[in-house]
Structures are given as structure tokens and as C-alpha cells.
Amino acid sequence: MPWLTIIIVIPLLAALAMFIVPEGDVGTARLVAALGAGLTLVMSVLMLANFHRDFPGPQFVDHAGWATQVGLDWIVWVDGISIWLIMLTTGLFAIAVAYLCFRTPDRPRAFLALIMLAEMGLLGLFSSGNLVLFYVFWELMLVPFYFMIGMWGGAGRKLASIKFVIYTMVGSLLMLVSIVATAVIAHGITGVYTFDIVALRNVDYTRPESIWLLAGFLLAFVIKLPLWPFHGWLPDAYRESPIVVVALLAAVVSKAGVYGLLRIGLPLFPRGMAYFQYPIILLALVSIVYGSLVAWRQPTMRMLVGYSSLAHLGFIALGIAAIDPQAAQGAVLQMVNHGVVVVAAFAIVGIIATRTGKEDIDDIGGLAARAPWLSGIFLVVTMASLAIPGSNSFAGEFFILSGTFRHDWWAAAIAMIGVVYASVYMLRLYQSSMNGPARGGDPRRVELRVRDVVVLVPLIAVMLFIALWPQVLAGASSASVNAAVAPAQVAVGRPPSEIRSVVLPNPLPATVSSASGVTGGASQ
């Protein structure tokens, strides 16, 4: 059964179905979107149930030709890393659609169709097993977000949308050049002209080749993440977009950048990653500190959460740049955690903003007295966001920090500052909005209603689940993470005792390749 293809196609069908829905028929539009997102979620859960957790390679491989003579193929698969990102995507998009069904935006057909298209783009991105397909989906998800920001955004939406696209495209078009160059140069080394990610793993490029090829990809990744100083698009996009779009940008789209590092950067260009290791670590640290400091001084709730997200993504990037299996494991865990937590935080911000009509932190206060449920859930989210021991984020950040500490104690030490700052800004947000004297608006209106519970409870449940059993995620992804990190570990010269996966040279020496046939790539 072509699981992944079905999972990718369902949202596309839902988006296309919106064309048939008569104009003004909001009910049907909601139903179509809910069915699309729901079915995708169900399918992905079923796929997860059939997932082999100890197998490090690709699973659920779907393969079909497109323009095979130039290396364009439809090849999708998941491994222990991408399956969690796919679960994150399907889950969060289902929640986003639920949120939108209760608070229908104007022109709901178009908005819901774009949301479904964005979901398709992200699912395709996280499952593509071919560099060109990766690029196709990378760009494809940009288009719906461009329209969602441009058509439903605030006053400065035009500038915000164009900035968002141009920033991202600067990186991604150079990535396209890099993709082409990768295939051409790898062809010279291995004798195979291919864009298949598995077949291109650990190709024996010279150091400059590896560095330059990676540089093209890296720019795209750090802009998408974003890391300081490539975050220029972020403030405008976060300020002007509808809250659902901001949540999805922070929770899922940003993961595309991290995923790129993990899927392409480490395994394909280990020498390049060794070269760029400290630059990335440095940018990640600056992002953590800068994001935290800026978040602390933000006047509005959404910008505070937005910048906190920048800091958290710095943590995740640090986990990958540490080139350590444990840190990378933590990064994968944290990708899921951050997605869930930041969506919950944005959902609460959205609820408060729509009910009180205010977004400025100074205008909101004392909500806890009249809205105890909201404040209780907000407290859980706040604690998760600052990674207090016992929360879901704790395990992830702990893995990242301890993995980083092993080789670069100073980086871990600086990153610790971020943890401290997190409590500063998150507690500022919580205290000033929930405690203290009531300011502005009628706090009773803010209390959670059924529609909010539908959105928040699943998120809280996932948080609790991961907090209690992080090893479910960690266990199922560790084999893939180890395999992804191992080539880069060899490149930076880690002791063999730390390398937890076999690194095969590519191309294999003639004697070995005839015996095992591993270069063939994607096989279940």
C-alpha cells in the first residue's frame, strides 16, 4: 500500500475539492478541510503503527517515474527521523483546521484550500527521498504561505509576504544550483547520475567540494529555520500573519530547515559539516541569546512567543551542529516538543487576543481570577516552554546540552543562559497576563470554551505523553539519528567508541560493492 503517497495526496485532493464547494457554503468547506486533515492524521497514525522502530533505513518506500531521464523521480519514504515530523505535521495541521473551523476566516474556502496545500508541501518535504523532489516541496509550501500572509495578514501584509518569499528564495535557488552540482560532481566520483538521497550519502567529495556544495544548502536551511542573522523575514511575517499561520510557521515550517541539516547536511556532506560546525554553533548560540533577549522586551504576546521560538530553534540547531548522536537525538525530540508547545502557546495567545481584542502584554492582566482553566493550561504550556524538569521539553533540552557538553562545554554553558532567559520572558508573559490586577476587557469572556478545549487538550495530552515516555520517540528514532550523524562524526574525528553506526564509504570499493550491493539505495 503506498502509504506516503496517499498521505501526501489526501490534502491535495481536499484543496482541489474546495474548487467544487459552492461559494459561501462555509459548512461544506469546513467539512472538506476537516475530512482532509483528519484522514491524513488517521493514515499517518496507522503508518506509525506499522513502523519498524529499530530499522535505520528508509521504510514505506513509494517509487514512480516522472522524468527519469533527467533524474526526476517520485520517491518518498520515511525513517525514524521523518516519521515524527510527519506525525507532527499531520497532528498540528489537524489542530489548525479544527481551530479554523470554529473561527472561520473570511473567504474560508480559499484559506482552507491553502492550508491543505501547505500541509501537502510539508508532508512531501519530510518524506521526499530525492533532492529535486525535496526542492520541489520546499518551494511548493512557500506558495500557500505567501498567499495566506498576503491575503489574510494585517496592515503591512504586502511587504511581509514579499519579504518572506524573497528571503526564502535567495537561499533556495542557490540550493537548486547546489543540488544540480551535487549530482554532477557525485557522478564524477561514483559513476552514477542520481539525485537519490540514499545513494548520495557520504560520497567521497574533496573537502572544498563538500564545503561549497553544503554552503548552497546551508543558506537555505538557516534562512528557513531561521538562525540569527538570517531572520530578517521573521518579525514582519510573524507580526502581520494570521495567528494560525504564525503558529504553523514556527511549529512546522521552521522544522524544514532543521530537517534539511539532519537529512542532507550531515549524511551527504560530512566534511562540509565539519567545516561549518563552529559557524553553525556560533549562530545557534547567538540565536538563543538574541532570541531570548528580544523576546523579553517584546510588547505583544505573539511576538514574544515568536522570538522565544527563535531561541528554541537555536537550541535545536545547536543539537545538530554538535555532531553528537545524543545531541542530535535531543534535537529530534525537541523538534516535536517545540512544535507542540509553540502551537499551544500561540493558540492561547490567539484565544486571549480574539476575546479581549488586545495583544499588547501591558493591556492584559489578571485573567487568572476569572479564567482559571485557561490560566491552568497556560501554566502547563509555560512550564513546558521553559523546559522545567518533568515537562516534555526537559528531556530534549537535556539531551542537547549533555551531548554538546561532551565536546564543547563552553557552547553548552552559553546555551544554559538561554534556559535561564526562557524563564524570564515566559514568566513575564504569564505573570503579567494572568496575575496582577485586571486590566482591560472582561476576563470572564476569556475562559476556555468547548472550541478551545478541542484545540488545547490534544496538545496538552501529547505534552504529557512525551514528558512521561520520551523513550517512545527517542527509541524509534535513535537508529536513524545515529546513522545520520555517523559520517560527520568520522569527518570531525570523534573516537570510534562514540560512533554508533557503520559508515560505509561511497563509492564502495569494488570488492565490497559486488558483495553487498548497498549503493542501490532505497530498499525496504
Interface positions with other proteins (CB under 8 A): 65-70, 72, 132, 135-137, 139-140, 142-143, 146-147, 150-151, 157-158, 161-162, 165-166, 169-170, 173-174, 176-177, 180-181, 183-184
Q: Are 337 and 272 in contact (CB under 8 A)?
A: no
The three three-digit cell numbers of residue 57, written as one number: 533505513
Q: Which is nearer to other proteins, 161 or 489 (CB)?
A: 161
Q: Which is nearer to other proteins, 125 or 415 (CB)?
A: 125
In angstroms, the CA 353 to CA 340 distance is 20
The three three-digit cell numbers of residue 439, written as one number: 486590566
Q: Which is nearer to other proteins, 162 or 518 (CB)?
A: 162
Q: Which is nearer to other proteins, 131 or 434 (CB)?
A: 131
Q: Which is nearer to other proteins, 26 or 176 (CB)?
A: 176
Q: Are 8 and 76 in contact (CB under 8 A)?
A: yes
In the complex, minimum distance from the CB of residue 167 to other proteins, in angstroms, rounded to a whole number: 10
In the complex, minimum distance from the CB of residue 174 to other proteins, in angstroms, rounded to a whole number: 5
How many Cβ atoms from other residues are within 10 Å of residue 158's Cβ? 12
In the complex, minimum distance from the CB of residue 142 to other proteins, in angstroms, rounded to a whole number: 8
Q: Which is nearer to other proteins, 176 or 464 (CB)?
A: 176
In the complex, minimum distance from the CB of residue 211 to other proteins, in angstroms, rounded to a whole number: 14
In the complex, minimum distance from the CB of residue 179 to other proteins, in angstroms, rounded to a whole number: 8
In the complex, minimum distance from the CB of residue 377 to other proteins, in angstroms, rounded to a whole number: 35
In angstroms, the CA 480 to CA 16 distance is 35
The three three-digit cell numbers of residue 297, written as one number: 522586551
In the complex, minimum distance from the CB of residue 135 to other proteins, in angstroms, rounded to a whole number: 6
Q: Which is nearer to other proteins, 59 or 178 (CB)?
A: 178
Q: Are 301 and 349 in contact (CB under 8 A)?
A: yes
CA distances (Å), origin 228, targets 157, 247, 288, 291, 310: 23, 19, 9, 8, 8
In the complex, minimum distance from the CB of residue 134 to other proteins, in angstroms, rounded to a whole number: 10
The three three-digit cell numbers of residue 97, written as one number: 483546521
In the complex, minimum distance from the CB of residue 139 to other proteins, in angstroms, rounded to a whole number: 5
Q: Which is nearer to other proteins, 144 or 396 (CB)?
A: 144
Q: Which is nearer to other proteins, 223 or 266 (CB)?
A: 223
CA angle 313, 150, 100 (to 5 degrees): 70
CA distances (Å), origin 53, targets 78, 82, 84, 273: 11, 12, 12, 27
Sign of CA dihedral 286, 137, 6, 115: positive
Q: Which is nearer to other proteins, 191 or 493 (CB)?
A: 191
Phi, psi of 128 (to 5 degrees): -75, 140
In the complex, minimum distance from the CB of residue 122 to other proteins, in angstroms, rounded to a whole number: 15
In the complex, minimum distance from the CB of residue 143 to other proteins, in angstroms, rounded to a whole number: 6
In angstroms, the CA 504 to CA 516 distance is 11
In the complex, minimum distance from the CB of residue 181 to other proteins, in angstroms, rounded to a whole number: 5
Q: Which is nearer to other proteins, 176 or 286 (CB)?
A: 176
Please give the full DSSP string across 79-118, using - where no structure is assigned: -TTHHHHHHHHHHHHHHHHHHHHHSPPSSHHHHHHHHHHH
CA distances (Å), origin 270, targets 181, 218, 220, 498, 503: 16, 13, 18, 16, 11
Q: Which is nearer to other proteins, 187 or 449 (CB)?
A: 187
Q: Which is nearer to other proteins, 83 or 214 (CB)?
A: 214
Q: Hunting for cell 560512533 — which residue is that?
A: 499
CA angle 299, 302, 304 (to 5 degrees): 55
275-280: Cβ within 8 A, 24+ apart = 275/207, 275/210, 275/211, 275/214, 276/211, 276/214, 276/215, 276/218, 276/321, 277/321, 277/323, 277/492, 278/321, 280/218, 280/222, 280/227, 280/317, 280/320, 280/321
The three three-digit cell numbers of residue 249, written as one number: 510557521
CA distances (Å), origin 55, targets 3, 79, 478: 18, 8, 10
Q: Hunting for cell 502584554 — which residue is that?
A: 361
In angstroms, the CA 234 to CA 488 distance is 30
